Amino acid sequence: MTDDAQLTIDGETLDEGLMIKTSGRVIRPFNRMIGEVADEYKLSATDDGLHVRAVNAPNVMYVDATIPADELETLSIQGDETAIGVNRSRFGSTLSEARYGKSTDDPVTLSADGATLEATVNRDYGGVRGTVPDRLALVDPASLRPEPPTIDRDRPSFALPPDAFIDIVSSFNDSKHIAVTVADGVATFSGETDTRAREVALEVDTDGEVEPTYFSTDFMESIADGLKTGYAETATVHVDDEWPLTVRATTEQNIRVEYTVAPRVHNE
């Protein structure tokens, strides 16, 4: 890592606090996974990678995501840590020219001077090579909601394929809450409406016991959407009696993400 990177805009050289070389396949899913929770977030860069811990407006759900430095072509920062504030929607628009399909993965260079982010995408337009520069005003990190505390409690956990979690949550889209229960090696997801009660029971590898604990279906769907948009390959569910539920996942690009949602009272 270096601490003397510079940014050139319209021929003017500015001091640069952060420079990243990556690709659409890495940075776009990362931004989209965070966007399931927060509209704005603080992106922190250290020698070991890019990190985000952001909470939603109701303070009910948070995301903790990391791109390891090894998954980035270049990561250059000033000092031990550099942080910028990002608007998820505007950042996504800035990155939109970077393709990340199965056969395409366009290079992306990001440079920040504290107030401005310069993004450059290099891509092919039907055999014609193109460069797409874009400039984005950053958000003051001090204006963002404080990062949530880490949950240190050792909760019962079980592995669950991301596609299974996505399918199970979608099957309860007409229920206000989803209850999670664990007993005798079986994890049960259940929900009900005025006219229907449904449950999905899964044989899982866990010794834990969890009484029915209820979570908002809307927030569980946000977790499922994050796993889907990030192309998660593995997932583990952590849950305990009347404690927050956490889904820890790893994507095909080795992005590590945790979604945590607080429990809801069943009669709300």
CATH code assigned to 157-261: 3.10.150.10
- pLDDT value of position 1: 38
Helix axis angle for 162-170 and 217-229, nearest 10°, is 140
Confidence of residue 2 (pLDDT cuts 50, 70, 90): very low
- pLDDT value of position 101: 76
- pLDDT value of position 79: 84
pLDDT for 144 beyond 70: yes
Q: Which of 123, 139, 142 is nearest to 131 (CA)?
A: 123
- pLDDT value of position 229: 93
Q: Kindly state the tokens that stand for 172.
A: 């309860």
Q: What is the pLDDT of residues 102-130, one digit of tens each?
A: 778 999 999 998 799 999 999 988 889 99
Q: What is the pLDDT of residues 49-79, one digit of tens each?
A: 999 999 998 899 999 999 999 999 999 998 8
Q: What is the pLDDT of residues 154-206, one digit of tens each?
A: 999 999 999 999 999 999 999 999 999 999 999 999 999 888 899 999 999 99
C-beta atoms surrounding 186 within 10 Å: 13
List Cβ neighbours of 55 (8 Å cut-off, separation of 6 or more): 37, 38, 61, 62, 145, 146, 147, 148
| Residue with the larger pLDDT of the pair 125 and 219 | 219
| Separation of alpha carbons 213 and 136, rounded Å | 42
List Cβ neighbours of 17 (8 Å cut-off, separation of 6 or more): 77, 78, 82, 84, 112, 113, 114
Confidence of residue 16 (pLDDT cuts 50, 70, 90): low
- pLDDT value of position 150: 85
pLDDT for 10 beyond 50: no
Q: What is the pLDDT of residues 229-250, one digit of tens each?
A: 999 999 999 999 999 999 999 9
In sequence order, what E strands does the chain have? 6-9, 12-15, 18-23, 40-46, 49-55, 61-68, 74-77, 82-87, 107-112, 116-125, 128-137, 157-159, 177-183, 186-192, 197-203, 210-216, 232-238, 245-251, 256-261
Q: What is the DSSP letter of 147?
A: P
Exposure pattern of 131-147 as b/e (b: 16+ CB <10 Å)?
A: ebeeebebbebeebeeb
Class level of CATH domain 6-143: alpha beta
Mean per-residue pLDDT, 87-91: 96
- pLDDT value of position 8: 34
- pLDDT value of position 12: 37
Residues of the chain with CATH 3.10.150.10: 6-143, 157-261
DSSP 3-state of 232: strand
Mean per-residue pLDDT, 20-24: 96
- pLDDT value of position 265: 66
